[in-house]
Structure 1
Amino acid sequence: MTRSERPASINDELVFLPLGGTGEIGMNFNLYGYGPATKRKWLAIDLGITFPDASEPGIDVIMPDPIFIEGERENLLGLVLTHAHEDHIGAVAHLWERLRCPVYATPFTAAMLRGKLAEAGLLNDVPLHEVPLGGHLQLGPFDLTFVTLTHSIPEPNAIAIRTPLGNVMHTGDWKIDDAPQIGDVTDIKTLTAFGDEGVRAIVCDSTNVLSPGRSGSEADVRKNLTALIGTLKGRVAVTTFASNLARLSTIMKAAEANGRHTVLVGRSMHKVTSAARETGYLKDVPTPVSEEDAGFLPPDNVLYLCTGSQGEARAALSRIADDSHRHIALSKGDTVIFSSKIIPGNELPIFELHNRLSERGIDVLTEKDHDVHVSGHPCRDELIQMYQWIRPELSIPVHGEPRHLLAHAELANELQVPEQLVLRNGLMARIAPGPAQVIDDVPAGRLHLDGRVLVRAGEAPLRERRQMSFAGHVVVSLVVDDDGKLLADPEVACEGIPDLEEGLSVEDTCREAADDAVSRMRKSAARDDAAVAEAARRAVRGRLRFLWDKKPPVRVLVTRV
Structure 2
Amino acid sequence: MNDLAFLPLGGTGEIGMNLNVYRCDGKLLAVDCGIGFGGPDNPAVDVMVPDPAWLSERSEDLLAVVITHAHEDHVGAVAHLWRSLRCPVIAGPFVSAVLRRKLAEAGLGQDVELITVPLPSRRTVGPFDIEFLRVTHSVPEACALAIRTRHGTVLHTGDWKLDPHPLLGPPTDEAAFARLGEEGVLAMVGDSTNAMVEGHSGSEGEVRRNLQALIRGLKGRIAVTCFSTNLARIESIALAGQAAGRDVALFGRSLRNAVQAARECGYLESVRDFVTEEEAGFLPDDNLLVICTGSQGEPRSALAKIAADTHPNLSLGEGDTVIFSSRMIPGNERLILHVQDELTRRGCKVMTADDHAVHVSGHPARDELRRLYSLVKPKYSVPVHGEWRHLSEHAGLARECGSHPVLIEDGDILRLAPGKVDVVDSAPVGRLAVDGSRLLPLEGAVMGARKRMLFNGVVVASLAVDEGGRVVGRPRVSAPGLFDSEGPEPEQIADELARSLGDLPKGLRKEDEALTEAARAALRKAIGRRVRKRPNVEVHLLRV
TM-score normalised to structure 1 length: 0.93
Q: Report 1:75-474 matches (<5 A).
A: 75-295=61-281, 297-418=283-404, 420-474=405-459
Bigger mean CA deviation after superposition, 456-465 or 48-57: 48-57
Deviations 1:51-85, CA, capped at 9 Å, x for gaps? 22245455342111111111111111111000000
Equivalent pair of 1:177/1:186 in contact (CA under 8 Å): yes
Shift of 1:89: 0.7
Aligned AA (1:27): M
Q: Using a 3 Å threshold, how does the CA distance of structure 1 residues 531 and 395 change in structure 2: closer, same or farther?
A: same
Q: Give distance in 2, aligned partners of 1:535 and 1:15.
A: 55
Bigger mean CA deviation after superposition, 295-304 or 195-204: 295-304
Aligned AA (1:213): G
Equivalent pair of 1:59/1:451 in contact (CA under 8 Å): no
Match of residue 499, structure 2, among 504, 507, 516: 516
Q: Secondary structure at the match of 2:133?
A: strand
Shift of 1:306: 1.3
Shift of 1:187: 0.4
Equivalent pair of 1:58/1:450 in contact (CA under 8 Å): no
Q: Give distance in 2, aligned partners of 1:345 and 1:541.
A: 34
Q: Give distance in 1, aligned partners of 2:296 and 2:286.
A: 26
Q: Which residue is equivalent to 2:23?
A: 33
Equivalent pair of 1:148/1:186 in contact (CA under 8 Å): yes
Shift of 1:507: 1.5
Deviations 1:423-466, CA, capped at 9 Å, x for gaps? 22111111111221111111211111111221122112221121
Deviations 1:488-547, CA, capped at 9 Å, x for gaps? 3332122122489xxx92223422432233222222222221211112211221232233
2:13 matched to 1:23? Answer: yes
Q: Give distance in 1, aligned partners of 2:337 and 2:310.
A: 19
Q: Which residue is equivalent to 2:467?
A: 482
Q: Give distance in 2, aligned partners of 1:441 and 1:519.
A: 55
Aligned AA (1:114): R
Q: Give distance in 2, aligned partners of 1:57 and 1:559.
A: 35
Q: Give distance in 2, aligned partners of 1:389 and 1:282.
A: 33
Q: Secondary structure at the match of 1:250?
A: helix
Bigger mean CA deviation after superposition, 462-471 or 131-140: 462-471
Q: Give distance in 2, aligned partners of 1:292 and 1:499.
A: 40
Q: Give distance in 1, aligned partners of 2:496 and 2:5.
A: 60
Q: Which residue is equivalent to 2:56?
A: 70
2:3 matched to 1:52? Answer: no
Q: Give distance in 2, aligned partners of 1:482 and 1:324.
A: 53
2:479 matched to 1:494? Answer: yes
Equivalent pair of 2:44/2:451 in contact (CA under 8 Å): no
Shift of 1:99: 1.1
Bigger mean CA deviation after superposition, 504-513 or 252-261: 504-513
Shift of 1:301: 2.6
Q: Give distance in 2, aligned partners of 1:55 and 1:220.
A: 36
Shift of 1:241: 0.8
Q: Give distance in 1, aligned partners of 2:116 and 2:299.
A: 35
Shift of 1:277: 1.0
Aligned residue pairs total: 544
Equivalent pair of 2:442/2:448 in contact (CA under 8 Å): no
Q: Give distance in 1, aligned partners of 2:274 and 2:470.
A: 73
Aligned AA (1:123): G
Q: Give distance in 2, aligned partners of 1:257 and 1:283.
A: 16
Aligned AA (1:472): G
Q: Give distance in 2, aligned partners of 1:137 and 1:49.
A: 26
Q: Give distance in 2, aligned partners of 1:290 and 1:509.
A: 55
> What is the RMSD of the two structures over their aligned residues, measured on CA atoms?
1.9
Q: Give distance in 2, aligned partners of 1:513 and 1:13.
A: 67
Deviations 1:166-193, CA, capped at 9 Å, x for gaps? 1100011111111101111010111111
TM-score normalised to structure 2 length: 0.96
Shift of 1:15: 0.7
Q: Secondary structure at the match of 1:203?
A: strand
Q: Secondary structure at the match of 1:314?
A: coil
Equivalent pair of 2:245/2:287 in contact (CA under 8 Å): yes
Equivalent pair of 1:308/1:315 in contact (CA under 8 Å): yes
Q: Give distance in 2, aligned partners of 1:450 and 1:494.
A: 24
Q: Which residue is equivalent to 2:519?
A: 536
Aligned AA (1:259): G
Q: Give distance in 1, aligned partners of 2:211 and 2:37.
A: 29
Shift of 1:202: 0.7
Q: Secondary structure at the match of 1:224?
A: helix
Q: Give distance in 2, aligned partners of 1:484 and 1:88.
A: 58
Deviations 1:309-348, CA, capped at 9 Å, x for gaps? 1122222222222333333333311211111111122222
